[in-house]
Structure 1
Amino acid sequence: MKERDVLIKNLKELINGGHAHATFEQSVKDLPAKLQGEVPKGMPYSIWQLVEHIRITQEDILEFSRDPEYVSPEWPEGYWPKERAPKDAAAWKESVAQVIADRKEFMQLLEAEDADLFTPFAHGTGQNLLREAMLIADHNSYHVGEIIVLRRLLGAWG
């Protein structure tokens, strides 16, 4: 196996999670709807807000990585939803599904035969595909951990 293939395989495993921590899918599985918008005492946000933040940020990284014309949301307000809870069950399902779909689309960028992991994008400030892959893994795993903490505080985790 070529070094590039090994690197891509390891990046995909890192982004998907599950080795050193729970996956995104595990963190949101079977969460009662009534708890999706609950903000535990002393915490600044709900699980819904974290899921949406993961979705928005990951979509931003994906679009930035594949579209030089893409314009990111304003920081920080464009990356966090104001609503504490989803408007309905469909909104929750759509957000969770979008996180998974966008993650798969990012994997396709990594797997493309012409994918250059190391050369900085012509746009941006020196970012490259490798850095963006590690950013998704780092960002998502951090917030998955927060989701699990909130679930523990709400009495809805193992």
Structure 2
Amino acid sequence: MEKNTRAAVVQQLVSLLTEANAHVTFEQACADVPAALLNQKAPGLPYTIWQLAEHLRIAQLDILEFSRNPAHESPEWPVGYWPAPEATVDEAGWQATLAAIRHDQTEFIALLHDESNDLLAPFAHGTGQTLLREALLIADHNAYHTGQLVLLRRLLGDWE
């Protein structure tokens, strides 16, 4: 891929991963959540605000590690991608989850910016996955669950 084309693609991927575009960002969806709501479930939903964010953290970390470490072993699906149904968090744990998500996102973006990483070359350790595909997977997965976070906050009376 030509250098200018690659830079433009990376710029668009970073925008997709970090900006609102057609919806609120993950950061906006998680801003100012009252601690009292972090562990509450809305009727009919099997997860809390924190459990959704923690799932997002686990999945994003798995994708990051898969993308940069051929020896990485993914968690068992689906149980390894979610905290235990009864797991709860305090404010410090919530902040740690959010910080880890930001950190891992930054690490993944660094992979995109590293020109030695071919965006389109299949990983030798995968089944056809590419760095481009993994970036799109993170963006898609994060957007899906960001929407769920907003809906859950609305159901709990904490969203306009």
Q: Same fold (TM over 0.5)?
A: yes
Alignment of structure 1 residues 76-155 onto 2, 5 Å: 76-82=78-84, 83-86=86-89, 88-155=90-157
Aligned residue-pair number? 157
- Mapped to 2, the partners of 1:153 and 1:70 lie a distance apart of 37
State the secondary structure of the residue aligned to 2:33: coil
State the match for 2:49 in structure 1: 47
What amino acid does structure 2 have at the position aligned with 1:129?
A: L
Does the Cα contact within 8 Å between 1:45 and 1:84 map onto a contact in 2?
A: no
State the secondary structure of the residue aligned to 1:71: coil
Does the Cα contact within 8 Å between 1:58 and 1:136 map onto a contact in 2?
A: yes
Alignment gaps of 5+ in structure 1: none
Q: What is the Cα deviation at residue 17 of structure 1?
A: 3.1
- Among candidates 9, 12, 22, match of residue 10 of structure 1: 12
- Mapped to 2, the partners of 1:77 and 1:16 lie a distance apart of 27
Q: What is the Cα deviation at residue 124 of structure 1?
A: 1.4
**TM-score of the two chains, using structure 2 as the length reference:** 0.95
State the secondary structure of the residue aligned to 1:68: coil
Does the Cα contact within 8 Å between 1:38 and 1:85 map onto a contact in 2?
A: no
Q: CA RMSD in A?
A: 1.0
Q: What is the Cα deviation at residue 84 of structure 1?
A: 4.2
State the match for 1:63 in structure 2: 65
What stretches of structure 1 move > 3 A for 4+ residues in a row?
A: none
**TM-score of the two chains, using structure 1 as the length reference:** 0.97
Alignment gaps of 5+ in structure 2: none
